[in-house]
């Protein structure tokens, strides 16, 4: 019996803005594509996350890149989706055929955007160019410098080049110079450590705010003073309280009123979220969103019996999980600055303890990399469907929070 889950990986533009997510079927201890029929995998992805779930929540209202094999395309599975919500990724095609061209034309005329994957520079694929919108290049298999001829071929078409398996910011910059438009990989999770770099004063203030929010007992006077010194912080907190916390709008007019209305636990959460949002930039926006989802997912799963005793730490641990990428600082230095509790520090720096295990599991589950496996689900005695629903709920909550901050 297979236990399954869905991971996701962001696709970003040259400004490091997320333009969509590829949804990935996962079912192995290495978080790799499982040894199951790819048609079955695509079908499961569709049924369990669209027909039975909320695919827009998983992708934060951005387009979902979904793999469709020729069989899935023939069975017209993409027609289950609104064409505005998905990108059809062609997979499982080893060579060009008239039948593949016919299929691609069909979905193109229906208004669906199509991405050609597994491109190998062979001219046989040229016939598809008038009907596709993206070409995905695995930069581990094809040297991008070999693509000069491709640029000439597609210059008259509205086709964007997507670089897969981008691991570093340097790679992204180099690929952009070559002509790539979009990028996919783990590069935004790998911070470029800049030794001796000093933080700007406003970032120091944000770290102070996070530091206050993780204390056992919140010091309202200190938090009020920090927030009141920045009109954006004040406005941001009031927006969060009004737009996210209530179904009926409550007119919050002061930090003190917000604290009273929210209660200490929620105030801690929202103050830390607000500080994280102020620390992040366009280049680190995806890392910040993942941190929000990780925090919420950890918070929900920490209520399970196996994680008893760490529920007070789960949310802030998840929220801080991407802080080194956002600040370009080693995690060891960050946690010293924020002065978090010992269990949080151990989880963030060394992934130690049950809190560290939960962090590894949640980040792996979300991204499909390291930790979110069926073995872990079994080890923790978790219900796969409950975990999947918690992920969907966390994604939806992240969208609500970020939308509230942006509105």
- pLDDT tens digits for range 242-289: 765 555 556 666 677 777 777 778 888 888 888 888 888 777 788 889
Beta strands in 48-175 (DSSP E): 64-68, 86-90, 113-116, 134-138, 160-166
- 128 close to 104: Cβ distance less than 8 angstroms: yes
Q: Specify which of 195-209, 213-227, 347-361 reaches the highest per-range mean pLDDT.
A: 347-361
As a three-state string, the secondary structure of 259-273 is: HHHHCHHHHHHHHHH
At 87, is the secondary structure helix, strand, or coil? strand
Comparing 189 with 75, the larger pLDDT belongs to 75
- pLDDT tens digits for range 22-68: 887 654 433 333 344 555 555 555 555 554 456 777 788 899 898 88
- pLDDT tens digits for range 151-175: 888 888 989 999 998 877 778 778 8
Comparing 349 with 235, the larger pLDDT belongs to 349
**Which whole number is the average pLDDT over 377-382?**
86
Q: Can you give the pLDDT at residue 299?
A: 93
- The region of weakest confidence among 74-78, 235-239, 264-268 is 235-239
Q: Can you give the pLDDT at residue 253?
A: 66
Q: Which two tokens stand for residue 231?
A: 């009109």
Superfamily of domain 5-189: EAL domain (3.20.20.450)
At 166, is the secondary structure helix, strand, or coil? strand
Superfamily of domain 201-406: Hypothetical protein af1432 (1.10.3210.10)
What is the CA angle 31-34-38, rounded to 5? Answer: 130
H or E element that contains 81: none
Identical topology for domains 5-189 and 201-406: no
Torsion of CA 251, 261, 400, 327, to 10 degrees: 110
- pLDDT tens digits for range 97-113: 999 999 999 999 999 99
Q: Can you give the pLDDT at residue 28?
A: 41
On the question of pLDDT at 81 being above 60, the answer is yes
Comparing 156 with 80, the larger pLDDT belongs to 156
Q: Can you give the pLDDT at residue 193?
A: 43
Q: Can you give the pLDDT at residue 87?
A: 94
Q: Which two tokens stand for residue 114?
A: 């199509």
At 10, is the secondary structure helix, strand, or coil? strand
Q: Which two tokens stand for residue 84?
A: 């505005």
First to last CA, the chain: 45
Question: Widest CA span of the chain, in angstroms?
Answer: 71
Instruction: Write 41-46 long-range contacts (CB < 8 A, 24+).
Output: 41/67, 42/66, 42/67, 42/68, 42/69, 42/72, 42/77, 43/72, 43/77, 44/4, 45/6, 46/77, 46/80
Q: Is 195 exposed, middle or buried (0-12, 13-18, 19+ CB in 10 A)?
A: exposed
46 Cα distance to chain centroid: 19
Residue environment code for 362-378, b if the CB has 16+ CB neighbours within 10 A, otherwise e: bbbbbbbbebbbbebbe
On the question of pLDDT at 400 being above 60, the answer is yes
- pLDDT tens digits for range 193-217: 444 445 666 777 788 888 888 777 7
Comparing 238 with 362, the larger pLDDT belongs to 362
Comparing 390 with 243, the larger pLDDT belongs to 390
- 90 close to 116: Cβ distance less than 8 angstroms: yes
On the question of pLDDT at 239 being above 50, the answer is yes
Question: What are the domain boundaries of the chain?
Answer: 5-189, 201-406
Q: Which residue has the tokens 């969060």?
A: 240
Q: Please enumerate in sequence order all residues whose Cβ is within 8 A of that of 225, keeping only pairs 6 or more positions apart, or say none.
A: none
pTM of the model: 0.75
In percent, how much of the chain has pLDDT > 70? Answer: 82
Comparing 161 with 229, the larger pLDDT belongs to 161
Q: Can you give the pLDDT at residue 196?
A: 44
DSSP one-letter string for 199-241: PPHHHHHHHHHHHHHTSSS--HHHHHHHHHT-HHHHHHHHHHH
């Amino acid at each position: 019996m297979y236990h399954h889950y869905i991971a996701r990986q962001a696709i970003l533009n040259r400004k490091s803005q997320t333009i969509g997510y590829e949804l990935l079927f996962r079912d192995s201890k290495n978080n790799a594509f499982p040894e199951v029929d790819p048609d079955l995998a695509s079908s499961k992805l569709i049924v369990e996350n669209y027909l039975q779930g909320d695919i827009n929540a998983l992708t934060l209202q951005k387009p979902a890149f979904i793999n469709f094999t020729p069989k899935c395309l023939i069975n017209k599975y993409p027609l289950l989706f609104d064409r505005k919500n998905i990108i059809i990724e062609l997979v499982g095609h080893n060579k060009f055929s008239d039948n593949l061209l016919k299929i691609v034309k069909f979905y193109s005329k229906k208004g669906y955007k199509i991405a050609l994957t597994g491109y190998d520079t062979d001219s046989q694929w040229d016939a598809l160019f008038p009907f596709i919108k993206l070409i995905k290049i695995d930069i581990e298999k094809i040297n991008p410098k070999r693509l000069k001829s491709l640029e000439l071929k597609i210059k008259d078409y509205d086709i964007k080049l997507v670089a897969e398996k981008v691991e570093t910011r340097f790679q992204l910059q180099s690929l952009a110079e070559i002509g790539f438009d979009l990028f996919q990989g783990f590069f935004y999770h790998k911070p470029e450590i800049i030794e001796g770099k000093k933080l700007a004063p406003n970032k120091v203030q944000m770290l102070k705010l996070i530091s206050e929010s993780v204390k056992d007992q919140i010091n309202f006077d200190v938090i009020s003073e920090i927030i009141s010194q920045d009109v954006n912080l004040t406005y941001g907190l009031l927006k969060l309280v009004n737009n996210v916390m209530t179904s009926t709008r409550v007119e919050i007019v002061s930090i003190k009123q917000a604290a009273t209305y929210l209660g200490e636990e929620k105030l801690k959460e929202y103050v830390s979220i607000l500080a994280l949002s102020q620390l992040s930039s366009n280049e680190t926006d995806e890392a910040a969103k993942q941190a929000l989802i990780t925090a919420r997912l950890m918070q929900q799963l920490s209520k399970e019996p196996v994680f008893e005793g760490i529920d007070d730490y789960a949310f802030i641990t998840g929220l801080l999980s991407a802080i080194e990428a956002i600040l370009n600082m080693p995690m060891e230095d960050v946690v010293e600055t924020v002065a978090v509790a010992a269990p949080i520090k151990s989880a963030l720096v060394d992934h130690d303890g049950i809190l560290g295990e939960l962090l590894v599991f949640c980040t792996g589950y979300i991204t499909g990399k390291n930790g979110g496996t069926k073995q872990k689900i079994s080890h923790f005695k978790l219900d796969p469907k409950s975990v999947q629903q918690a992920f969907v709920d966390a994604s939806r909550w992240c969208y609500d929070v970020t939308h509230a901050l942006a509105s």
